[in-house]
Amino acid sequence: MNLKKLYEKQAELDAEIEKQHPNQNGEDRESMDFLALYAELGELLNEWRGFKYWSDDRGPRILKKTPDMKTFDETEGRVADWIVTNPLLEEYADCLHAILTLGNRFGVADFEVPELLAQEYDTASIVAKFLDLFYFVGEIEAHPFESERQKWYRELIVNFVELGKMLSFTWEEVEAAYLQKNKANHDRQANGY
């Protein structure tokens, strides 16, 4: 699996964000990048829903119909068309953005994720994988030496890709979702997000 193209796309987006929103005096962007990843992992976890033992509705919202605001019919005052989205995949792509930003920050943009073997996964293994991901982010953040950060980052990205397989995403789906969100993020920067 070749991530080089995605690291490059993320570096372009991060440069555009820096241009549109320059670092303010004393602002700790690295800490903000870690918080962004924690937040995105939390949103992915919440969208997955498998840990919500207190609920009868524990399945992810794989497909969701949402209004396509580009086709809003003003004369009728309603949406003319609906688009079908996969919120779980969208949140996964958001996490990938944050992970790639950290990879670029810590000089790991040339790392190739090994091909992972397909396996059967259950809810318990997915819960464990989420916990591992939060742990790996904490380890990256906690270590001051770049070599240690790179080691833990590699664990993070390999396990994140494995989580994608556990959630039944193909790499083609992940890459397409990432590229779609990357374009949306560029559009946001161009429009004063």
pLDDT band, very low/low/confident/very high, at 9 (cuts 50, 70, 90):
very high
C-alpha dist (Å) from residue 64 to 67, 75, 161: 10, 26, 24
C-alpha dist (Å) from residue 120 to 125, 163, 167: 10, 12, 11
pTM of structure: 0.87
In tens, the pLDDT along 155-165 reads 999 999 999 99
Q: Domain segments of the chain: what residues?
A: 4-55+87-190
